[in-house]
Structure 1
Amino acid sequence: MSVRDDSGGSGRAKAASRAPASFGAFARKPVERNAVHAAAGPASGIESVQALPDGAVEVGAIVDAYGLKGWVKVAPHAGANRGGDALTSAKSWWIVKGREIKAAPVVAAKTHSDSIVAQLSGVGDRDQALALRGWQVHVRRSDFPSLEADEFYWVDLIGLEVVNEAGVALGAVADLIDNGAHSVLRIEYPSQGKDGQPVTGERLIPFVGVYVKTVDQAAKRIVVDWEADY
């Protein structure tokens, strides 16, 4: 996660430094595909909490048990090979189902095919792991792996104002889409329907260097080479 990255994707977009790299190509930090990331220090087990921590981002969902020793299988919204290492790098997850929220220390986690598998503290057998199916997984934004200067997490682009080089406002980033070749900005803007009633318009702008000129996260603005009537 198209890859899901609304309030919570951890997909990455990477700006091109030279041709033929794509401005919006996903990038994943070099990491051994089957490397196990173990948490440091003691873990106290899964515990109920009142609220998610500040900066929590939904990054995936527990979909199954993995093996017989209590490991869980997670489908990351960004894909295991496209930002899923946010799950393997975090020492704690927060899992949510309905109104229930639990803090889940991570004992170990690794990439497995197109999924993430992990051992959570206090989950010791397959039945306990199966009981966690359907829980959404959140991690703190501060736990995401660091990026290079020309890389961007989708979650950090959502909400940014988009203007063209003439300064014309085109809307704000509502979502991103992965079309397989590159990311696409989905931009929403206020418009008017044929009946004169207000509606929400949509623009799709490929997140590639020919169109996207600058991304200024501090100013919360993206400048693009794109006309308002496209």
Structure 2
Amino acid sequence: MTNENSARRILLGRVVGAFGVRGEIKLESWTEPRSAIFKYQPWILRSPAGVETELTGARGRDTGKHLVATFPGVDDRNVVEAMRGTEVYVPRSALPPPKADEFYWVDLEGMEVVTTTGQVFGTVSHLFSTGANDVLVVRGDRERMIPWVRPDFVLSVDFDAARITVDWDPDF
């Protein structure tokens, strides 16, 4: 992993509204399981206006329908409603190292993607999940969407060279 990746921030969730009248917060989490978001602190909260603050001590519970959080010093529904849309980030370094042959998507972003014949497709813009498999979005001369299916389409990931080798038809 490069120093650039270790300094990056990872978006883990977002404030989606108030829960009750005592300042509890409905939180959307993209961690798995979703309640794992509370393991990665301190958080960097980024308001929709771009104002950033650091937060430590957030707690929460999974109600089944919602993830409900409490933030230190927040005990009013109106304060929570003003926070709607606030994003929750953590430094990439706060996440545990991935297991062997696993990757954090953010670590793949920006890597060069080449074919087995050496043709450069471009760089990884982002990844997304379809439910059936994840998809690598590569932007270069055009945008390509390559299923993250190893070893059928994604042959290798070389962090030292910042390169992903794929077996993919350039015309597809």
Q: TM-score, normalised by structure 2?
A: 0.82
**1:85 CA drift (Å):** 5.5
Residues 154, 112 of structure 1: CA spacing in aligned structure 2 closer, same or farther, 3 A cutoff? Answer: farther
1:35-88: per-residue Cα shift (whole Å, max 9, x none)?
xxxxxxxxxxxxxxxxxxx53222321011234443322223x3x546x46622
Which structure features the higher share of helix residues?
2
Query: How do 1:69-108 and structure 2 match up within 5 A?
Result: 69-76=22-29, 78=30, 80-81=31-32, 84=34, 87-97=37-47, 98-108=49-59
State the shift of 1:157 in Å. Answer: 1.1
How many angstroms apart in 2 are the aligned matches of 1:75 and 1:108? 14
Q: Percent identity?
A: 35
The residue identity in structure 2 corresponding to 1:188 is R
Alignment of 1:27-176 (within 5 A): 54-76=7-29, 78=30, 80-81=31-32, 84=34, 87-97=37-47, 98-113=49-64, 116-176=67-127
RMSD, aligned α-carbons: 2.2
Normalised by the length of structure 1, the TM-score is: 0.63
Given the alignment, which residue of 155, 163, 172 partners 1:221? 163
Q: Which runs of 5+ in 1 are unaligned?
A: 1-53, 191-200
2:4 alignment counterpart: none
* Superposition deviation, residue 146 in structure 1: 3.3
User: Which deviates more from structure 2 when the two are superposed, residues 108-117 or residues 133-142?
Assistant: 108-117
1: CA distance, partners of 2:148 / 2:108: 11
Q: Which residue is equivalent to 1:194?
A: none
Structure 2, gaps ≥5 residues long: 1-6
Distance, in Å, in 1 between the alignment partners of 2:46 and 2:146 is 33
1:97-130 deviation digits (Å, cap 9, x = unpaired): 2131111213323445475432211112433333
SS of 1:155's equivalent in the other structure is helix
The number of residue pairs the alignment matches comes to 164
Check the 8 A contact 1:86/1:144 in 2, yes or no. no
More RCO (CA 8 Å, sep 6+): 1
